[in-house]
Amino acid sequence: MEILAFGVQTDEKPLMEKAFAGHHEVRCVGVFLNEDTAPIAAGYEIVSTSVNADLNHRVLQTLAAGGTQMIAQRSTGFNNIDLDVAERLGLTVARVSSYSPYSVAEFAWTLAMAVNRRIVRASNRTRDFDFRLDGLMGRDLRGRTVGVVGTGKIGEAFTRIAHGFGMTLLGWDIAENPACLELGMRYVEKERLFAEADLVSLHVPLLPATHHLVDAAALRAMKDDAILVNSSRGGLVDTDALVGELRAGRFTGVGLDVYEAEAGLFFLDKSLAGIEDDVLARLVTFPNVVVTSHQAYYTADAVGQIIDTTVQNVLDHIAGRRSENVLVPRLQDRTITRGPRPAARR
């Protein structure tokens, strides 16, 4: 059997081919799955997709009509898949329920330190042999307060690093993490967290309840010199409201690895095309903002785990096995009653 994998990055392709070797053939394409590219999948029983794929009802209908039976998503999040439509069409859907939390947690800290210590500005200056320190002053994080929004595996890893810095730990989540409590974290209402934290880092999934969790009110509640980091999902932050606060001169720094309108932009070369997204174009002009292209997960360790799990999901599907990674089971495995789907934790 040959599997079609959409949205495969150059660095990812040899890892994919090696992982599938001895099992099944895999055809890797760089284009992302959407309404325009879905017809490519005709004749492929199994399709693998990336986090920026758009699996709306029309895409799913095209896949089903072309003979696709299983979608193996190479990410933990699945807010880009219409699971109800997939279920009606008889499509099996699986995801990667977990991978190295350290990849994302460490990158979130990379963003936090980059904006705090003005690393991008300093690097750009020294490339021009400008070695002045004007405007590069940061501040110690030891003794300051960090607010961790979402304390699952990634949030816990982020918290452990914050504890190493000697920071006061505030957390917010639907359930308290005992490991974070042992580190000295105090769980508080999110309004208090936004108001008291010197650094706020987001580690929750994108769900209807968390869409624009950091809205205009939350941004206004934050300290004028606070740092905001989002390495989870772009839709957690109201970007229009964020731009408004930045224009008012607020925040020491903002580090964003995700953007709510990133589909069709991130992972692609748009350097010669001109960006039509006025909000993103404005956002990247602020000297205290660093935007990266959804790369927090992108380490050899994490990508290797993601690919290995994807291969196992495919093998389980073919063998008729069902694991915790299955979001929509095979048609023949479905029962009348079905429990709630897992949260799209990242």
Write out the catalytic residue numbers: 233, 262, 294
CA 257, 263, 269, 274 dihedral sign is negative
Buried b (16+ CB within 10 A) or exposed e, 275-308: eeeeebeebeebebbbbbebbbbbbeebbbbbbe
Distance CA 195, CA 11 (A): 41
Q: Which residues pair with 71 in a beta bridge?
A: 47, 93
Amino acid identity, position 159: T
Single out the residue of 110, 112, 139 nearest to residue 227, CA to CA.
112
38: left (phi over 0), alpha (psi -120 to 50) or beta: alpha
Contacts by residues 157-166 (CB-CB < 8 Å, ≥ 24 positions apart): 157/101, 157/102, 157/104, 157/105, 157/106, 158/105, 158/108, 158/109, 158/201, 158/203, 159/183, 159/185, 160/105, 161/105, 161/106, 161/109, 162/199, 165/141, 166/141, 166/142
CB 153 within 8 A of CB 98: yes
Single out the residue of 250, 243, 242 nearest to residue 224, CA to CA.
250
Take residue 330 and report the two structure tokens written for it.
């095979």
Alpha carbons within 13 angstroms on the beta-carbon side of residue 325 total 25
Q: Which residues pair with 256 in a beta bridge?
A: 230, 291
